[in-house]
Structure 1
Amino acid sequence: MKSIAVIILLIIGFGHCQTRLTPQTADDLTDTLTIRTGTVFGMCAGEYCIREYVFNGTYVTLTHKGARSQAAAQSCQSTISAADWIALKASVNLASFNQQPAVLGCPDCADGGAEFIELQVGEQKHRVTFPVGETIPGFESLVTGLRNQRNAFSECK
């Protein structure tokens, strides 16, 4: 009887040690985080109606595309500060984000434009599209932070 109790305690103890050896902190989960964000205006008459930003750590790639025009896509790269990247990662809750519906509201209805945020870790990714100027409930700081970054790097030069 005592040996069974000792075995159970050892199993619990090793399980507890294993948890401490492999913590699941936000940094662990987002070390391979890629964030895609941007806007799409389907009825746009301009040359570049689609703007997509890809954040990989402090590196940012901006791609402009035309919705209907034959203009070639234009891409350029920039960087953000480590502090800005840490702030973006801190506003990410992957489990909660992955539970959001793929579409919120009526994006690009009445030519209002659509905004999107996609979070990817490894092969797992989830995109949420919503009307420009609105937000994803519970992710206001992420939406605002990404908008600030997009405004700071709005054009390829």
Structure 2
Amino acid sequence: MKNNLFLMMILVLSILTQSSQCEKEKVSTEKSDLAELAITLDQTAWFCADNCRYNFVFREGEVVTRRFSKPNDETPLWTCNRTLSGKDWQAIVEALDIDNLIDTEETIGCPGCADAPIETVRVESGDFAKEVRMNQGESVPSIQPLLDEIRAQAEELKNQENCQ
């Protein structure tokens, strides 16, 4: 009787242990799946005169840049579609560590408190979507390589005159 009770307890514990283990959502980085991958960087300043918000959407082969006059505007002042080089896209993909992204809190610090500009990074692929908000320029060690890469590319895009 004691043996049966002991075996039953082991069985129940093993079932509970297995059912409580969560599997992280995976984003495939196989070449055939990258066409679905989109990485967005949104930069918003609340107290500004003009060009208060920039939105960059990076996809394989293209980047769409939108500039908004005010933070809550839904219609951009201008939209620019540019070709994204394979080298630039590969740099973004290599900087993306999906496991670290999944483990990163959705809100870092207090974005926008004390009137600081806000950055939002969104990664989407198929049914997967993850967004992280922070004060603009803030360091987030778990996703820093991705932030460094998309921020650098976004700065270059802001400074190009050929879409204004």
User: TM-score band, normalised by the shorter chain?
Assistant: 0.7 to 0.9
**Percent of aligned positions with the same letter in both sequences?**
22
List per-residue Cα deviations over 1:34-92 (Å, max 9, x = no partner): 00002111222x22211110011120001112336879412111122211111110111
Aligned residues: 133
- Distance change in 2, residues 1:53/1:134 (3 Å): same
Q: Are 2:104 and 1:100 equivalent residues in the alignment?
A: yes
Equivalent residue for 2:64? 61
Greater percentage in helix:
2
Q: 1:137 matched to which residue of 2?
A: 141
Give the CA deviation at 1:112.
1.8
Query: SS at 2:146's partner residue?
Result: helix
Q: Is the 8 A contact 1:47 1:69 kept in 2?
A: no
SS at match of 2:106: coil
SS of structure 1 residue aligned to 2:108: coil
Which residue of 2 is the match for residue 148 of structure 1? 152
Counting only pairs closer than 5 Å after superposition, residues 49-88 of structure 1 correspond to structure 2 as 49-67=52-70, 72-73=75-76, 74-88=78-92
Separation (CA, whole Å) in 1 of partners of 2:147 and 2:138:
9
TM-score by length of 1: 0.74
Is the contact made by 1:115 and 1:130 (CA closer than 8 Å) also made in structure 2? Answer: yes
Q: Distance in 2 between matches of 1:65 and 1:141?
A: 27
2:45 counterpart residue number: 41
Residue 8 (structure 1) aligns with: none
Structure 2: runs of 5+ lacking an equivalent: 1-26
Partner residue, 2:123: 119
Runs of 5+ in structure 1 lacking a partner? 1-23
